[in-house]
Amino acid sequence: MIHDFNKKLLHKHELAIGLFYFYKNHIISEVKEGVTLTFENCSELFEIIHSYYGISTPFVYISNRKNSYSFVPTGHFKSSKLFPNFIGYGVVTYDAINTKVATLEQSFLENETKIFDDLNEALLWAQELIKPLSDLD
Q: What is the pLDDT of residues 81-130, one digit of tens each?
A: 889 999 999 999 999 988 998 888 888 788 899 999 999 999 999 999 99
> At residue 126, what is the residue type?
A
Report how far residue 97's alpha carbon sits from residue 102's, in angstroms, rounded to the nearest whole number: 9
Class in CATH terms, 11-133: alpha beta
3-state secondary structure of 22: strand
For the chain, the structural domain boundaries read: 11-133
pLDDT in tens, 41-51: 999 999 999 99
